[in-house]
């Protein structure tokens, strides 16, 4: 089994990454990590979109612009770690999602216009931490869940969150420890 760890953590001493590393330590499988900030994934501007559309139209999928999509489509399990930023997650993760949404690699549209998955993965784990309380799951985890389900056919989706880490006086080690116990049960 191949686990793809999509690391959208930004800070060097990221607590979200610490939880993800704990989760990864439980796997005995092949683990591939993609560190989104280190990769410096480019957004789809006019030039890149034009290039991509032309390649897709000609069914020429050999260009490196498709590498992320290919990697995602081949993974058996997806683990995403992303801190809770502005009710959601860091923009680099959205940029990544835009890069992997490639018709002909990760999905295709049915005759009725619905996306049909071309991905192997059936399970996704989403890990996040927040400074205060997570006031809504809708725009972070909820968005990822909807995308994974509707485009990539991933139905088994787990959500791990450690909240209130920046609240003055918070017992951070205790919160993280409790979250690790939760991870062990997945
Ligand atoms: C740009 C930015 C936006 C943030 N937005 C929120 C937020 O909307 N709600 C919240 O509770 N915490 C917010 N935080 C705090 C982080 O969620 C919190 O510090 C988190 O634990 C960071 O994870 P890390 O240790 O993995 O970097 C934000 C932090 C940053 C830097």
Q: What is the CA 23 to chain-centroid distance, rounded? A: 14
Q: For the chain, what is the mean pLDDT? A: 97
Strands 77-81 and 123-129: parallel
The pair of three-digit structure tokens given for residue 32, joined into one six-digit string:
């591939």
Instruction: Report which ligand 1 atom has the smallest distance to the Cα of 166.
Output: 19
Q: What is the pLDDT of residue 29?
A: 87
* Cβ < 6 A, ligand 1 pocket: 9-11, 14-17, 83-87, 129-132, 165-166
Each residue's pLDDT tens digit, 26-69: 999 899 999 999 998 999 999 999 999 999 999 999 999 999 99
Q: What is the pLDDT of residue 61?
A: 96
String of DSSP letters for 27-63? --SEEEEEEHHHHTPPP--HHHHHHHHHHHHTT---S
Q: Domain of residue 31: give its range.
A: 2-184
Distance between CA atoms of 109 and 102, rounded to whole angstroms? 11
Q: How far is the CA of 11 from the centre of ligand 1 (A)?
A: 10
Each residue's pLDDT tens digit, 103-151: 999 999 999 999 999 999 999 999 999 999 999 999 999 999 999 999 9
pTM of the predicted protein model: 0.97
Q: What integer is the mean pLDDT of 153-167?
A: 98
CATH number at residue 65: 3.40.50.360
Count structural domains, the chain. 1
For 143, the enclosing helix (H) or strand (E) is helix 141-152
């Amino acid at each position: 089994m191949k686990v793809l760890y999509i690391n959208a953590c930004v800070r060097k001493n990221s607590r979200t990454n610490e939880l993800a590393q704990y989760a990864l330590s439980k796997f005995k499988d092949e683990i591939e990590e993609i560190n989104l900030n280190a990769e410096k994934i480019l957004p789809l501007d006019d030039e890149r979109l034009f290039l991509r559309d032309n390649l897709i139209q000609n069914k020429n999928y050999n260009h490196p612009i498709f590498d992320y999509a290919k990697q995602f489509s081949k993974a058996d399990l997806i683990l995403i770690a992303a801190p809770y930023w502005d009710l959601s997650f860091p923009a680099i993760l959205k940029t990544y999602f835009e890069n992997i949404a490639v018709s002909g690699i990760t999905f295709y549209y049915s005759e009725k216009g619905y996306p049909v998955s071309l991905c192997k993965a059936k399970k996704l784990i989403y890990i996040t931490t927040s400074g205060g309380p997570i006031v809504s799951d809708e725009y972070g985890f909820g968005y990822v869940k909807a995308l994974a389900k509707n485009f990539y056919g991933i139905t088994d989706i787990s959500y791990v969150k450690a909240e209130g880490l920046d609240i003055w006086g918070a017992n951070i080690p205790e919160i993280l420890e409790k979250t690790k116990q939760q991870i062990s049960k997945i």
